[in-house]
Structure 1
Amino acid sequence: MATTISIYIVEDHQLIVDAWVSLLKQIDDFEVVGNSDNSDDAIEGILNLRPDIVLMDINIKGGSGIDVAAVVNDKLPKTRVIGLSIHDDMAFVKRFFQNGARGYLSKNTTKEELEAAIRSVYDGDTYVCKEIKDKQFFNNLSGGDDSSQKELTAKEIEITTLIAQGLTSRQIADKLFVSRRTVDAHRHNILKKLNLANAALLSAYAKDKGYI
């Protein structure tokens, strides 16, 4: 009898969840055992159900999928996390893997690549989608260009996202357990790096990049 691969989905857009479930149900040995749209429910559900694979979005209600991935990696080392996001920034990819993820897929991925990634990660390998690998290859081939200097770090992206969500520097500091001075310094550096005049323009940038 073939082994069934149990899958848990963490995503806060129901239409996307429905699409993934529909795709995965078409594969005989895949079983979606649950899903959550926020960090607290995700951790509770994953710890209770102990799935083989977790498909984890970065931006979820109540926190970051990257942080949830770290908890899962710590508590359930046999459960393997695959990051799924619209982001193709290498900073996101690196941070996901640093926090225990075994795979990373763009939400533009095909059904075939989604299946391949799940099987590869289930078998103990790592997997990065073709879109990300192609981007990294061409970046390496060109030796980088001036635009790379404008790429934000993972921490800067996190703070940019929170600013775009309307949080004040004090609220961001409390959420990230850092000082307000640290947040203000990041805010200044982000605006300077992107050559933006204010938080309103930064919010527009964040929306354009898909951070929120």
Structure 2
Amino acid sequence: MNGATVLIVDDELYIRRLLTATLARAGYQIEEAGDAKQALALAERVKPELVLLDLGLPDRDGLELVQPLRRGGKAAVVVVSAREGTEDKVAALDLGADDYVTKPFDTEELLARVRAALRHKLGERGAPSAITAGDLSIDLVTRRIVRSGEEVHLTRKEYDVLAALAAAPDRVVTHQTILAAAWPHDYDRRIEYLRIVVRNLRGKIEADPARPAIITNELGVGYRLRTTL
């Protein structure tokens, strides 16, 4: 599964189950937290692309989590709360939340808000939302990879490496930049791991993995994702 990782932060179990079922059907990977402490620990460990945040948490007000969960603007935050007051909405948005959805919510509308928030984050970082390289298409919002009309299923590491390259199409991306994107912990950042993942990626997306045309080496520096073949 290639879907973006979404962290659901809500103290109500049935809400978490509803959101998990909805998002999993749409192809997202899910992590759940029932309180603020667990949410911050999970966010640090799994580095979600998006957080669905309830404000009525048992140990802290959810508004206090908006900025820490955004991780310097790298994660999108969509507040999902029963609070309908204008003051709460304004406060959440002023703190950096990307959107505010009130409970009860329509699941299809929520999915649309999630897609919009992810697309907005990509735009903020100057990354294209979709890349085409020959018969390969990479959608960085839905995390869908298609080659010759057939969906390509990648592991999480394979997708993270491909996304790091797709964020800078036709430009050299250094080994260290890719390692930092795909291996969040310093002690895991080994060039051998990257080489293995790139080899596996080429086996899935290249017409001839022995003569790669999409992901090319820049000897001793990094890799380049070529869009003009």
RMSD: 1.5
Aligned residues: 121
Following superposition, the deviation at residue 93 of structure 1 comes to 0.5
Deviation of 1:76 (Å): 4.0
| Structure 2 residue 113 is the aligned partner of structure 1 residue 117 | yes
Q: Does 1:20 align with 2:19?
A: yes
Counterpart of 1:9? 8
Q: Which has the higher helix share?
A: 1
Residue in 2 that maps onto 1:42: 39
Report what 2:95 is aligned to.
99
For residues 84-127 of structure 1, the C-alpha deviation after alignment (integer angstroms, 9 at most, x for no partner) is: 011111101011111111011012221110110000000017xx
Q: Looking at CA atoms only, which structure, 1 or 2, has the larger radius of gyration?
A: 2
- For 1:124 and 1:94, the matched residues in 2 are separated by 19
Q: Structure 1 stretches of 5 or more lacking a match?
A: 126-212
Written as runs of structure 1 = structure 2, the 5 A alignment for 1:60-79 is 60-73=57-70, 75-79=71-75
Alignment of 1:1-212 (within 5 A): 4-28=3-27, 30-32=28-30, 34-73=31-70, 75-124=71-120
Report the Cα distance in structure 2 between the residues aligned to 1:36 and 1:98, rounded to whole angstroms. 24
Question: Deviation of residue 3 (structure 1)?
Answer: 5.3
Q: Specify the alignment match of 1:174 in structure 2.
A: none
TM, length-normalised to structure 1: 0.54
The letter of the residue matching 2:13 is Q
Q: Secondary structure at the match of 1:54?
A: strand
CA distance in 1, matches of 2:113, 2:10: 18
SS at match of 1:55: strand
Structure number having the greater strand percentage: 2
TM (normalized to structure 2)?
0.50
Contact 1:50/1:76, CA 8 A, preserved across alignment: no
| Distance across 1 between alignment mates of 2:76 and 2:98 | 6
How far is 1:23 from its partner? 1.3
Deviation at 1:4, TM superposition (A): 1.8
- Segments ≥4 residues shifted beyond 4 Å: none
Question: Is the CA contact (8 Å cut-off) linking 2:51 and 2:69 kept in structure 1?
Answer: no
Q: Distance in 2 between matches of 1:64 and 1:4?
A: 29
> Between the two proteins, what is the percent identity of the paired residues?
19
Distance of 1:3 and 1:21 partners within structure 2 = 16
